[in-house]
């Protein structure tokens, strides 16, 4: 096996990423990867810049709702149309940088393991200490290496199997990577996270409102992917229903029936959940002060998650388009 551009291609998706896109494209060019950039209506000169580098650019039609799935599929189609289809394709978001050496290492591993359909690695934040939201993202990205059930959108995929599966589902607006991973495993090929750095991400999330909308989007993904694949995200949905809806209703009903003691009892359950989560994060080597705050947001997240889930069910009932939920 060689690591030439005919063996590996890359699809980058983005909109108004600015300097982050420049760093992303440079990191791929440095590793000799044939790259397609898919733009979702940028107004910051991203398209002109990418073309100036000689990168093939696909501009998505603004008349159709943007989704990450749609963008990645368009990039894959462009790779297939403009030359020999690479054996493997690295998908990456435009706000990420590919770590030097990742492409070669991922190629060597997936090529040596024909039972694998996807390999991924560790993503990390470039500035995790800028905000608690960045720190939470960084912690979220770092998961144990080895065989896994699903991964995020930064992944290297066996191109032929990707085509056979029809790519990402363009109607899934969040957790489209999870949905694709479910279908990959059902097709008989596994997914593995390698114990090495893959990408560096720049969340640049500094406001509570951004975190809230991002968490609403996650809830939408729990519901939509859960509808398509009922076993996936089942524990997440159960927690959202319990802490986001059932317990608040119990508190309200209890307040009417027995008074404030019911509210205090429910509040105690939230405190217990927060403490349990804090201790779990500390056992996973998170700093205690950060774990306390992180656990608070994880406890609070059930409410925006619930909004996202209900948004999906409402859209589905009314047969509405699943438009994206942006957080920045």
In sequence order, what DSSP letters do the residues of 70-81 get, joined into one string? HHHHHHHHHHHH
Instruction: For 126-142, write each residue's pLDDT tens digit.
Output: 999 999 999 999 998 88
Q: Does the pLDDT value for residue 3 go beyond 50?
A: no
CATH 3.90.550.10 domain residues, the chain: 8-206
**Domain at 8-206: CATH code:** 3.90.550.10
Q: Find the mean pLDDT for residues 53-81.
A: 91
Contacts of residue 18, Cβ cutoff 8 Å, sequence gap at least 6:
44, 46
Q: How confident is the model at residue 238 (pLDDT cuts 50, 70, 90)?
A: very high
Q: Are strands 56-59 and 34-39 parallel, antiparallel or unpaired?
A: parallel
Instruction: For 70-118, write each residue's pLDDT tens digit.
Output: 999 999 999 999 878 899 999 999 999 999 999 999 999 999 999 999 9
What average pLDDT does the chain have? 93
Cβ–Cβ < 8 Å for 36, 10 = yes
Q: How confident is the model at residue 6 (pLDDT cuts 50, 70, 90)?
A: low
Angle, vertex CA 21, rays to CA 13 and CA 215, nearest 5: 60
Q: Find the mean pLDDT for residues 199-213.
A: 94
Cβ atoms < 10 Å from Cβ of 304: 20
Cβ–Cβ < 8 Å for 246, 253 = no
Report residue 127 as tokens. 């500035």
Q: With the CA atoms of 72, 218, 19 and 207 taken in that order, what torsion angle do they form, in degrees rounded to the nearest 10? A: 170
pLDDT of residue 320: 82
Cβ–Cβ < 8 Å for 32, 6 = no
pLDDT of residue 182: 98
270 versus 16: the higher-pLDDT residue is: 270
CA distance 109 to 158: 12
Which neighbouring-strand residues pair with 92?
Answer: 12
Contacts of residue 259, Cβ cutoff 8 Å, sequence gap at least 6:
none
Half-sphere exposure of 180 (CA within 13 A, CB side): 34
Percent of the chain exceeding pLDDT 70 equals: 98
100: which DSSP letter? T
Q: Does the pLDDT value for residue 1 go beyond 80?
A: no
- Measured over the CA atoms of residue 298, residue 96, residue 71 and residue 231, the dihedral's sign is negative
Instruction: For 143-161, write each residue's pLDDT tens digit.
Output: 899 999 999 999 999 999 9
């Amino acid at each position: 096996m060689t690591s030439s551009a005919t063996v590996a291609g890359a699809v980058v998706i983005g909109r108004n990423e600015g300097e982050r896109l420049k760093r992303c494209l440079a990191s791929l060019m440095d590793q000799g990867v044939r790259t397609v950039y898919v733009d979702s209506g940028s107004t910051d000169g991203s398209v002109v810049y990418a073309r100036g580098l000689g990168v093939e650019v696909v501009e998505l039609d603004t008349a159709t709702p943007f989704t990450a799935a749609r963008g990645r599929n368009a990039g894959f189609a462009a790779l297939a149309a403009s030359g020999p289809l690479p054996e493997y394709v690295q998908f990456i978001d435009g706000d990420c940088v590919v770590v030097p050496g990742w492409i070669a290492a991922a190629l060597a591993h997936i090529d040596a393991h024909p039972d694998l359909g996807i390999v991924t690695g560790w993503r990390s934040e470039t500035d995790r200490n800028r905000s608690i939201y960045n720190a939470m993202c960084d912690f979220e990205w770092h998961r144990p290496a080895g065989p896994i059930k699903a991964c995020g959108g930064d992944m290297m995929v066996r191109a032929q199997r990707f085509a056979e599966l029809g790519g990402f589902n363009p109607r899934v607006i969040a957790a489209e990577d999870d949905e694709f991973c479910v279908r990959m495993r059902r097709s008989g090929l596994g997914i593995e996270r390698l114990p090495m750095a893959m990408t560096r991400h720049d969340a640049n999330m500094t406001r509570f409102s951004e975190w809230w909308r991002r968490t609403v989007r996650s809830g939408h993904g729990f519901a939509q992917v859960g509808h398509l694949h009922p076993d996936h995200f089942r524990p997440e949905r159960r927690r959202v229903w319990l802490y986001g809806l059932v317990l608040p209703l119990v508190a309200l009903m209890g307040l009417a029936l027995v008074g404030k003691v019911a509210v205090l009892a429910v509040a105690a359950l939230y405190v217990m959940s927060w403490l349990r989560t804090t201790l779990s994060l500390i056992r996973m080597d998170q700093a205690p002060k950060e774990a306390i705050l992180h656990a608070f947001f994880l406890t609070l997240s059930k409410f925006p998650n619930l909004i996202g889930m209900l948004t999906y069910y409402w859209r589905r009932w009314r047969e509405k388009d699943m438009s994206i939920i942006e957080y920045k």
